[in-house]
Amino acid sequence: MNHSVVKKAILNYLVKNQKLTGYEFIKYCREIGFNISPGTVYPALKKLLEKNIVIYKTSGRKKVYELTELGKKYYSKIETENKNETNKIRMIIECECTGLPEKYKEKIAKFIQKLPKTNWKKPESVKQIIEDFKECETHLNEYYKKLKERS
């Protein structure tokens, strides 16, 4: 996990649970399938602390972190940005092409989903994308002809 993802995950956890310790967060991440180390979590918490996004109170030997008011505002801001990005991604993945019949949407969506997985440094991968693109073009031309016939 990169640090910005970890910070967002920490903020998300804090919004839902109000408090966290580094250990609790690591345990939670491992329970949901992310093998995360203290060497990733604690530096992320330190950066959030330095930016006044979180504060902590000491409870015995533990530091119990909470969001500050600034942290709550920051979380709202990144949530809005995430929703905008998520909507863009969803639009691409689901290929929300209003009015386009489902069979064409599926073909285009499959093509779009392949793009980020393509190894752009391998000629055979690029060639496959070109072939997939041509297939999409063929389907769109077929749809275009049907539309023209109707009008």
pLDDT at residue 112 in the model:
80
Stretch among 65-69, 83-87, 119-123 having the lowest mean pLDDT: 83-87
Angle, vertex CA 81, rays to CA 75 and CA 83, nearest 5:
100
Indicate if the pLDDT at residue 92 is higher than 80. Answer: no
Mean pLDDT of 68-94: 76
Topology classification of domain 3-74: Arc Repressor Mutant, subunit A (1.10.10)
Q: What Cα–Cα distance (Å) separates residue 63 from each residue in 4, 24, 34?
A: 21, 11, 22
Indicate if the pLDDT at residue 119 is higher than 90. Answer: no
Locate the domains of the chain by residue range. Answer: 3-74, 99-150
Entry pTM: 0.55
Structure tokens at 87: 């909507």
Mean pLDDT of 4-16: 89
Q: Which helix (H) or strand (E) holds 142?
A: helix 123-150
Q: What are phi and psi of 98, to 5 degrees?
A: -55, 130
Task: Tell me the pLDDT of the chain averaged across its residues.
Answer: 85
pLDDT at residue 2 in the model:
46
Q: How far apart are CA 143 and CA 5, in angstroms?
A: 41
